């Protein structure tokens, strides 16, 4: 074979080998490129997954807030205290560590939407000697302890807390609800004005004067009193006395202290009194610790009557 032909063949073989090497390199780059693309996609997917987790957390908190708002409204409808343990068991479940965050958000929703807020009840006082001795042995301080119980109260401004805006509930009926509220308001006022406690004999005497057995439309007087005890408006303290009858004393319960404030009691007294004496404000200040409440409403009513007469 001529030398020139051998050279051409060798050159052709070299070009084929170089062409094969180029193809193999291009295939390698082609394979590597999808790997880099996959890596970018995986990082993007990781970012998306993290966003989904964050969104899931916020959605979970929103659901817990709505659930707590519904739970608080349901408890208040039945006049049942909103217990912190109940919130953890029936609302939070496995999210117990989110209590403060969910509670604050629910408070904001209650205030903005319903004009209400959850207020913590004062702790139930140790009234009997036996209970006080137990408290001393345990070293529990009533001033620093927390009741861990709440009720819903109105957060509306004072000018909106009037009858046309806040009326009695229509369930079971407006008349029955108004009578019930009026009854426990009068009982709490009598107890508060009697230095915070009232014997069973005096309470029965007041109920007879009020003709409660005939004027209460919902149930018998004793049944209504038991209902007030269950709902936290009243406390019935029974002292066991050996060889004698049990001593029964009536006090204001935790819910009664919050719902019927000293200012409310002063306004009730001024309304019932009608034409109050000059020293009523001093007496109310001494008994309730409030000032200038006794004659405010009668005075305003007199001014209104004078204005009506002038218009006529």
The arrangement of strands across the sheet holding 149-154 comes to: 82-83, 149-154, 116-120
Residue 38 tokens read as 């996959």
State the pLDDT at residue 17: 52
Q: How many C-beta neighbours within 10 Å does residue 269 have?
A: 20
pLDDT reported for residue 61: 87
pLDDT (tens digit, 0 to 9) for every residue of the chain, 312 residues total?
Answer: 555 444 444 545 555 555 555 555 554 444 444 444 444 444 444 443 433 434 445 668 899 999 999 999 999 999 999 999 999 999 999 998 999 999 999 999 999 999 999 999 998 887 766 776 666 666 655 445 788 999 999 999 988 888 788 888 877 788 889 999 999 999 999 999 998 999 999 999 999 998 988 888 778 899 999 999 999 999 999 888 777 778 899 999 999 999 999 998 998 888 888 787 888 888 888 888 876 554 444 444 443 444 444 444
pLDDT reported for residue 167: 80
CA distance 156 to 247: 42
Which of 292, 295, 263, 262 lies closest to 277, judged by CA?
295
The DSSP secondary structure of the chain, one letter per residue, reads --HHHHHHHHHHHHHHHHHHHHHHHHHHHHHHHHHHHHHHHHHHHHHHHHHHHHHHHHHHHHHHHHHHHHHHHHHHHTT--EEHHHHIIIIITT-GGGHHHHHHHHHHHIIIIISEEEEEPPPPP--SHHHHHHHHHHT--TTT----EEEEEE-S-GGG-STTTSPPP-SS-HHHHHHHHHHHHHHHHHHHHTTTEEEHHHHHHHHHHTTHHHH-SSS-HHHHHHHHHHTTSEEEEEE--TTSPPEEEEEE-HHHHHHS-HHHHHHHHHHHHSS--TTHHHHHHHHHS--S-TTHHHHHHHHHHHHHHHH-
Residues 6+ apart with CB under 8 A from 300: none
How does pLDDT run across 217-268, given as a tens digit for each residue?
778 899 999 999 999 999 999 888 777 778 899 999 999 999 999 998 998 8
Residue-level pLDDT at 59: 67
Dist. CA 150–CA 81, nearest whole Å = 6
* pLDDT for the residue 161: 83
pLDDT of residue 24: 53
Residue 118 φ then ψ, to 5°: -85, 125
pLDDT of residue 31: 45
The pLDDT score that the predictor gives to residue 144 is 56
């Amino acid at each position: 074979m001529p030398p020139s032909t051998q050279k051409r063949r060798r050159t052709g073989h070299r070009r084929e080998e170089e062409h094969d090497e180029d193809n193999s390199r291009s295939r390698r780059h082609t394979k590597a490129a999808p790997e880099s693309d996959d890596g970018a996609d995986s990082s993007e997917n990781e970012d998306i997954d993290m966003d989904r987790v964050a969104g899931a957390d916020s959605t979970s908190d929103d659901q817990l807030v709505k659930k707590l708002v519904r739970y608080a409204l349901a408890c208040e409808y039945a006049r049942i205290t909103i217990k912190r343990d109940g919130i953890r068991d029936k609302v939070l479940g496995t999210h117990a560590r989110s209590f403060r965050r969910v509670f604050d958000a629910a408070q904001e929703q209650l205030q903005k939407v319903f004009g209400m807020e959850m207020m913590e009840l004062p702790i139930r006082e140790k009234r009997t000697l036996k209970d006080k001795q137990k408290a001393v042995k345990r070293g529990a301080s009533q001033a620093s302890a927390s009741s861990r119980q709440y009720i819903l109260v109105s957060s509306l401004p004072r000018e909106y807390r009037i009858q046309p805006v806040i009326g009695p509930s229509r369930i079971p009926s407006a008349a029955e609800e108004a009578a019930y509220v009026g009854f426990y308001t009068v009982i709490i006022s009598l107890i508060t004005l009697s230095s915070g406690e009232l014997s069973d004999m005096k309470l029965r005497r007041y109920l007879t004067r009020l003709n409660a057995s005939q004027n209460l439309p919902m149930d018998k007087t004793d049944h209504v009193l038991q209902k007030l005890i269950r709902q936290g408006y009243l406390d019935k303290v029974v002292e066991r006395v050996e060889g004698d009858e049990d001593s029964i004393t009536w006090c204001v319960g935790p819910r009664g202290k919050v719902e019927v404030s000293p200012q409310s009691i002063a306004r009730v007294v001024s309304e019932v009194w009608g034409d109050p004496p000059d020293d009523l404000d001093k007496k109310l200040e001494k008994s309730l610790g409030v000032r200038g409440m006794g004659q405010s409403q009668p005075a305003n009513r007199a001014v209104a009557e004078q204005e009506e007469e002038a218009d006529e």
